[in-house]
Amino acid sequence: MKYLNFDTIKKYPILEYARIEGFTPVKRGSEYTLKEHDSIVINHITNKFFRNSTGQAGSVIDFAMFCANNEISLEQAVERIKELQGLGDFAYEIDEDPKQQPSNEQKESVDKTLVLPERANNMRRTFAYLTKTRGIDADTVRDWARSGNLYQDVKGNCVFVSRDEAGNAVFASQRGTNTEKRFVADLAGSDYSKCFQINNTANTLVITESTIDLMSVQDVMKKKGRDLKDYNYMSINGVAKIEAVEQYVKVHPDVNNVVLAYDNDAAGIEAVGKTRELLDNEGYTGKTTEFLPPDCKDWNNQLEIYNAQQNQAAIMPGEDR
């Protein structure tokens, strides 16, 4: 039996869980509340929440129970979080007999070992989801698959994989292809000091909040005539992992320009400020560029707008848009 350190479950960010559940975090001072529940206060540093109206408080596990109107048990809440973390194969209940308890080495191994999901024998669902639902160019999807950054697992999920120079997987995340049930999860053992990267030994680094946003930005860049090989890329998979940016520029001193292609919302704009401050401390003052989607929240939505405009131009050439 493989055991999971219970504290590992509690590390899953409450803000990420809130977004997955359809809530809208709103920054207030040094903390967050929810647009839909303004009595909720979330401290993203301690990863704890408090509900002023009822006094309910606690970790992300307690928050998961709150999201389910307290109609699920602690065990069910844990299972939901484990699914998001990609830890479904790990047990978390520890026998009271010390001889049956996992060693510290066993517990630590959960966080250090990245095991990729089994690969499917085709990419039909992934390809259809990314091109038809998300509007990603088919050539972009093929390029990611050929480079080993994307495949489909046996459950039909997209698996995004970041690899080191030796080709070893160091970070991976899954996204479900079922449009009626949202599923997004980073895999256990992923290195958050690196997050998702594509390195072309270029001098400019483009950073997004998600891998699909990254694919979308690449498509937009292609529409503008840019050579994608002239850039390196990173997805920090959220807004809370900007330390990976600091680590990146330390390891890649040849990078002399960083493009922040975050979401154009409160959380994204706040992340821009924090990332700029972090990069300024690393000597990047004046070398950071904002590239926010001009018409909507994120770059995948922006790509949809550009695709629609392009289609309209093809159907009705010469007319004003």
167/169: higher pLDDT: 169
Residue 113 lies in a domain: no
Return the residue matching tokens 């489909």: 152
Residue written as token pair 């048990």: 73
Q: What pLDDT, on the 0 to 100 scale, is given for residue 267?
A: 85
d(CA 20, CA 17): 5
Give the pLDDT confidence of 36-60 residue by residue, as tens digits: 887 788 988 889 998 876 778 889 9
- Is the model's pLDDT at 292 over the cut of 90? yes
Find, among 178, 182, 174, 181, the residue nearest to 211 by Cα: 174
109 band by pLDDT with thresholds 50, 70 and 90:
very low
pLDDT digits (tens, 9 = 90+) for 111-143: 457 889 999 999 999 999 999 999 999 999 999
For residue 22, the number of C-alpha atoms closer than 13 Å in the C-beta half-sphere is 5
Q: What is the pLDDT of residue 144?
A: 97
Six-digit token pair at 243? 């330390």
Q: Match 């704890």 to its residue by tokens.
A: 48
53/194 same-domain check: no
8 Å CB contact between 152 and 123: yes
Output the pLDDT for position 95: 35
pLDDT value at 204 more than 60: yes
The reported pLDDT for the residue numbered 7 is 74
Judgement on whether residues 132 and 63 belong to the same structural domain of the protein: no
Contact present, 287 and 256 (Cβ < 8 Å): yes
- Whether 285 is covered by a domain: the verdict is yes
Which whole number is the average pLDDT over 205-224? 96
| Region 285-290 average pLDDT | 92
- Is residue 150 left, alpha or beta, with left meaning phi > 0 and alpha meaning psi from -120 to 50? beta
Please check whether residue 118 lies inside any domain of the structure: no
Judge whether residue 106 has pLDDT over 70: no
Domain with 57 in it: 6-94
Distance CA(257)–CA(273), nearest Å, equals: 16
Q: Where would I find the H helices in the chain?
A: 6-10, 14-20, 60-67, 74-85, 104-112, 124-128, 138-146, 211-223, 243-251, 266-281, 299-315
- 310, 254: one domain: yes
* Sheet with 31-34: strands ordered across: 25-28, 31-34, 37-43, 48-51, 57-58
- CB contact burial 174-193 (16+ within 10 A = b; e otherwise): bbbbeeeeeebbbbbbbbee
Decide if 105 is inside a domain: no
Residue 110: pLDDT band (50, 70, 90) is: very low
| Residue 67: CATH number of its domain | 3.90.580.10
Considering only residues 184 and 292, tell me which one the structure prediction assigns the higher pLDDT.
292
Q: What does the pLDDT read at residue 258?
A: 96
Q: Are residues 293 and 200 in the same domain?
A: yes
Alpha-carbon distance of 302 to 72, in angstroms, equals 37
Shared-domain flag, residues 15 and 84:
yes
Residues 136 and 279 in one domain: yes
Scanning the structure block, which residue is given the tokens 């400019």? 204
Give the number of domains in the chain.
Answer: 2
CA distance 170 to 190: 6
Q: What's the CA gap between 103 and 114, in Å, rounded?
A: 19
In tens, the pLDDT along 247-258 reads 999 999 999 999
pLDDT at 279: 93
Looking at the fold, whether 83 and 157 belong to one and the same domain comes out as no
Does 207 have pLDDT greater than 50?
A: yes
Q: 107 in a domain, yes or no?
A: no
Residue predicted with more confidence, 197 or 24: 197
Structure tokens, 248: 């990146």
How many residues can be counted in the chain? 321
Inside any domain, residue 201: yes
pLDDT beyond 60 at 319: no
Q: How confident is the model at residue 313 (pLDDT cuts 50, 70, 90)?
A: low
CATH number at 193 reads 3.40.1360.10
Same domain, 166 and 209: yes
d(C-alpha 245, C-alpha 113), whole Å? 22
pLDDT at 257: 95
Helical pair 299-315 and 211-223, crossing angle rounded to 10 deg: 40
User: Same domain for 168 and 264?
Assistant: yes
102 in any annotated domain? no
Instruction: Say yes or no: 263 and 169 in one domain.
Output: yes
* Domain final position from 55, 77, 94: 94
Q: Rounded to an integer, what distance in angstroms lies between the CA atom of residue 300 and that of residue 135?
A: 8
Residue type, 181: K
Tell whether 82 and 135 lie within a shared domain. no
Average pLDDT, the chain: 84
Would you say residue 101 lies in a domain? Answer: no
Amino acid at 48: K
77 in the same domain as 33 = yes
Residues 6+ apart with CB under 8 A from 138: 127, 131
Q: Are 77 and 65 in contact (CB under 8 A)?
A: yes
73-89: average pLDDT? 77
The pLDDT score that the predictor gives to residue 89 is 53
